[in-house]
Amino acid sequence: MQQQRFYDFIIIGTGASGSVLAHYLTTAGASVCMLEAGRHFRPNQFPSDELHANAGLTWNGGMDSSHDARTVCIRGKVVGGGTIINNCLLDRFDDIALDDFRTKSGMDFYSRSRMDQHYQEVESHLNLEYIPESDWNGNAHIYAEGFDKLGLKRAPLRRGQKNCDNANNDCVVCLGGCPRRSKQSMTVSFLPSALAQGAHLIDQFHVHQIVHGHKQVAVYGTHNKTSKILYARKCILAAGSLGTTELLLRSGFAKNLPALGQGFHCHPQFMTMALMNDIVDAHKGAFQALKSDEPRFRQQGFKLENVFAGPAAIAMLKTGFGEQHQDFMANYRRLACIEVAVRDEVPGRLHLNNKGHLVIDKPLSDIDQQRAEAGLQQIRDIFRETGAKRIIESPLRIALHLMGGCSIGQDRASSVVNEQFQVHDFPNLTIADGSIYPLAPGINPSLTIMAQSHRASQALLAEFGVNNTIPFQQPMNREASA
């Protein structure tokens, strides 16, 4: 019989939630094992072209489709999770989002006075910069001109980056892993310290099932095509909205947790392009620099940002084929682009079909369609004001902010996780990733995922009686038989 190490915590997923938790738990002296389905890339190893990046860094090649095949969900499958492939725009929630979270979940800590300490703590590990006007690319200038002509309020975006040299760089690869160590992903912020403090990371480990016990959790998965079982006192699910929900569904928790899979939100995004007379070079420097700051838009449930992507992604946004499509792509450097991101009101549902595959049931409701249409109308107006020769609207909806499925709340009937971030009735399971969001905030989600993960780490340490003066009890480890 093979003897295996017994950990204090197994963390499934190394993204915005998992890496933050690993950092704070190892800081307190706990033994932590991190399991990640994706590969661990060093900065100089990231794929250098978009197609290999899609294949190598995302689930299903970046093509997790909704059941109606109208929305494409993109999520990272790599050490660092979504933070490797995201734009790293890091916003705190405003009062509107916090109040709505508090009302829906009944969790008092969703307030400015209670969350500020968590925001401050995680921000102290990140280099955050507002993109200065001197670093804007042509697309940002068009966005600003349109907003100003229409008298709309705009604001600079805050981004996690360091020495990015936006003004001069033409690297385009930002969403395929940052080779400059500029983007403040988990692999340049929380993960290195967790590893230095003794966290054990196993990449390319796909977790299939978890079994909850009174004193330990068993985690089943495959690594190098071999079945493995690992044990810990507690298991933290940090596999993201889709991954965490899917794991609990696969592990048979639905019978005890009626709300499991409910409440899925995704901020559906619609990218609208405009063909301009002059070169725009929207791919240069930071793809995104500006956001709308119109209270009216916030009330109406949408926001606008300048945005762009590499040529493969842009090609997929345009319908048609042949010469017409070729002409469109030949004008890549003349394209401007603005997205409307909808604060989706009506949730979808995640469930398994009879073949055991995850189904993302997320049709766009009338109300959310109307929110999108209100934003699209503003974009058309902006592009008309700024001299667009042609406006190209993509029929594809993109979902990058995947949230819900295991929402936080007070009772088992309508939620999955309690105030201590424990799964209701399963105290050895903790969740603090995007899956616990009770609704869509309408704001970039990852900074709040980090902040609530810091809060969850404090709740876990308090459970073990650990505080500033009392360290984690060592040794925690005992041998478990596999």
Ligand X SMILES: Cc1cc2nc3c(=O)[nH]c(=O)nc-3n(C[C@H](O)[C@H](O)[C@H](O)COP(=O)(O)OP(=O)(O)OC[C@H]3O[C@@H](n4cnc5c(N)ncnc54)[C@H](O)[C@@H]3O)c2cc1C
Stretch that binds ligand X, among 81-89, 176-184, 349-357, 464-472 (CB under 6 A): 81-89
How many residues sit close enough to ligand X to count as binding (CB under 6 A)? 40
Q: Which of 138, 240, 285, 405 binds ligand X (CB under 6 A)?
A: 240
The CB-nearest residue to ligand X is: 15
Q: Which amino acid type is present at position 221?
A: G
Judge whether 379 and 304 are in contact, CB under 8 Å. yes
- Strand 269-275 versus strand 226-237 pairing type: unpaired
Stretch that binds ligand X, among 72-80, 103-111, 132-140, 415-423 (CB under 6 A): 72-80
Residue 445 touching ligand X (CB under 6 A): yes
Residue 343, judged by CB atoms within 10 A of its CB (0-12, 13-18, 19+), counts as: buried
Residue 294 touching ligand X (CB under 6 A): no
For 326-456, list the strands marked E by DSSP.
Answer: 335-342, 349-352, 358-361, 390-393, 397-399, 422-423, 426-431
Residue 74 touching ligand X (CB under 6 A): yes
**Residue placing its CB nearer to ligand X in the complex, 12 or 230:** 12
Binding mask 89-128 for ligand X (x = CB under 6 A): x---------------------------------------
Q: Strand, coil or helix: what is 403?
A: strand
Task: Quote the least distance from Cβ 359 to ligand X, whole Å.
Answer: 16
Q: Which of 6, 9, 17, 302 binds ligand X (CB under 6 A)?
A: 17
Helix (H) or strand (E) holding 317: helix 311-317
Query: Residue 180 — φ and ψ, nearest 5°?
Result: -90, 0
Provide the Cα torsion 463, 196, 240, 233; round to 10°.
-40
**Residue placing its CB nearer to ligand X in the complex, 138 or 434:** 434
Stretch that binds ligand X, among 134-142, 240-248, 255-263, 458-466 (CB under 6 A): 240-248
**Residue placing its CB nearer to ligand X in the complex, 15 or 334:** 15
Judge whether 204 and 221 are in contact, CB under 8 Å. no
**Residue placing its CB nearer to ligand X in the complex, 251 or 422:** 251
Q: Which of 433, 455, 461, 472 binds ligand X (CB under 6 A)?
A: 433
Of 5, 479, 18, nearest in space to 244 by CA: 18
Query: Residue 186 — φ and ψ, nearest 5°?
Result: -65, -30
Q: Which DSSP symbol is given to 332?
A: G
Q: Which of 33, 57, 191, 238 binds ligand X (CB under 6 A)?
A: 238
Residue 289 touching ligand X (CB under 6 A): no
Task: Quote the least distance from Cβ 242 to ligand X, whole Å.
Answer: 7
Separation CA 381–CA 375 (nearest Å): 10
Task: Quote the least distance from Cβ 96 to ligand X, whole Å.
Answer: 17
Beta-bridge partner residues of 227: 222
Number of Cβ within a 10 Å radius of residue 18: 31
Which residue ranges make up the site for ligand X (CB under 6 A)? Answer: 12-18, 35-38, 74-78, 81-83, 85-89, 175, 206-207, 238-240, 243, 247, 400-401, 433-434, 444-446, 449
